[in-house]
Amino acid sequence: MPEGPELDLELDRVKESIDEAREEGREEERREGRNDRGFLRKVSLSTALVAVLAAVAALQAGGTINEALLQKNEAMGTRNEAFDLWAQYQAKGIKAALLTQEKQTLISLDRVPQASLDADIARYGKEQQDIADNARKKEESARRSSEEADHFTHRHHRYASAVALMQIAVALSAIAALSKNRLLWTLSILVALGGTIFFVDGYLLIF
């Protein structure tokens, strides 16, 4: 059986070992705590940046779809105007045809047509030409408005895709922060980068 001083020495050694183990444990906890805090700060910063970009993309998506609707409505209205002009064109043509028929009837009856008939026929022909020119301009304007509407719609789809991806990235970041999972955070950054590509494409229309 160990004597008193030897037992005390053994106890001191055990106590020192326990203290060292506790100190190492505290130091490891402090390091992990600092790492966790640093990780959470990075997650918070990246999430805030993605959220801001998502908000901008959402505003752009709303603005572009509104512009697309306005251009579509303008194209439809201009097409209706062109349709009305072509209807006028047909009406002038019918009047000119009736006067021409009247003139031919008078000639067949050996009667001299009134001079006003030729003047009216020429006037209707000129009016037809003016109406046709105006109608073609309206159709061209409607075509441009329709193309512009398609352009805004295409941009809207890009911005909407960007918003969707960035919302997914924010959700992944939140899960990563709660679970302290760095892999999920990396995945959220990659998804956010995909959303950023769609956002830039919506602005520049590269693709």
Residues in Cβ contact with 54 at an 8 Å cutoff, skipping those fewer than 6 apart: 162, 163, 166, 167, 170, 195
CA distance 45 to 192: 13
CA dihedral of 172, 175, 176, 180, whole degrees rounded to 10:
180
Q: What is the mean pLDDT of each run of 10 residues along the chain (207 residues)?
A: 49 49 52 68 90 93 94 95 94 90 81 80 91 95 94 94 94 89 92 94 76
pLDDT of residue 1: 47
Residues in Cβ contact with 57 at an 8 Å cutoff, skipping those fewer than 6 apart: 159, 162, 163, 166, 195, 199, 202
Helix axes 4-108, 182-204, angle to 10 degrees: 20
pLDDT of residue 85: 94
Q: Where are the domains of the chain?
A: 46-204
CA distance 54 to 202: 13
pLDDT of residue 33: 52
